[in-house]
Amino acid sequence: MDADLARSWLAAMAAAVTAERDRLTELDSAIGDGDHGANLDRGFTAVRDALADDGSTTPGEVLVRAGAALISKVGGASGPLYGTALRAAGRDLAGAAPGPTEVADALTAGLDGVRALGGAAPGDKTMVDAFAPAVEALCAGAAEGADLAAAARAAADAAAEGARATVPMRARKGRASYLGDRSTGHEDPGAASTALLFRALADAADRAGEAP
């Protein structure tokens, strides 16, 4: 992954969030307060603007800058959580063109940052339920020598599967937790948007045709 790929990843995420804005809002209206689509759309639009001519030369710098933009633009819980994920990943990612293993390690650091800030564990019906299996798949792919595009596709599939798996869960963190049993039967909006983030990475890596 180089700085351009990091930029195109986040641009793809911004486009995906805009396209899926209404679905995210609908999911959030069912078990939250119905602003997830609008908040993420505002946030990733700010990310795209911040990265338009930012002069970053490494993917780590791009991710840190994107994370800072999310934290300062979104509010709510999703801004600090996504912002922390990208900043923590960016700080971990050294060099101008790190390989799949380094990217997997960086996103592991991102996941750790999310868990430290939000305190959520797998099974709590949060973004962690998509993020954790995605990172696991990314690490496994990298360990088997897959290129970034292939590893990211596996991660995107795992994230989507993880998001679907939140449907029967009972929320234990965030606003949905107040619903108790009434939170079951709905996909968690944070897990759904995390699935978009990993799909955007796979799509961007595919387009870049990155070699292992």
Partner 1 sequence: MKKFLNSADSFLDDALAGFAAAHPGLSVDPATRVVTRAGGAVPGKVGLVSGGGSGHEPLHTGFVGAGMLDAACPGEVFTSPVPDQVLAAVRAADSGAGTVLVVKNYTGDVMNFRLAAELAADEGLRVETVLVDDDVAVRDSTFTAGRRGTGATLLVEKIAGAAAARGGDLAAVADTGRRVDAASRSFAVALTAGTTPAAGRPGFDLPEDEIEVGVGIHGEPGRRREKLRPAREIVRGMVDAVLDDRPVERGREVIVVVNGLGGTPLSELYLVYGEVAARLADRGVRIARNLVGDYVTSLDMAGCSLTVCTAEDGFLDLWDAPVDTPALRWGV
- Please report, as ranges, the residues that interact with partner 1 according to CB under 8 A: 25, 29, 33-35, 38-39, 71-81, 117-118, 170, 172-175, 177-180, 182
Least distance between partner 1 and beta carbon 137 (Å): 27
d(CA 146, CA 16): 25
Least distance between partner 1 and beta carbon 25 (Å): 8
Least distance between partner 1 and beta carbon 10 (Å): 19
Query: Whose Cβ is closer to partner 1: residue 42's or residue 164's?
Result: 42
Least distance between partner 1 and beta carbon 63 (Å): 17
Query: Whose Cβ is closer to partner 1: residue 83's or residue 98's?
Result: 83
- Write down the residue that tokens 């961007």 correspond to: 204
Query: Whose Cβ is closer to partner 1: residue 32's or residue 59's?
Result: 32
Least distance between partner 1 and beta carbon 34 (Å): 5
Query: Whose Cβ is closer to partner 1: residue 18's or residue 29's?
Result: 29
Those residues with Cβ within 8 angstroms of residue 203's Cβ, 6 or more apart along the chain or in another chain: 12
- 60-76 in b/e burial notation, b at 16+ Cβ within 10 A? bbbbbbbbbbbbebbeb
Query: Whose Cβ is closer to partner 1: residue 37's or residue 60's?
Result: 37
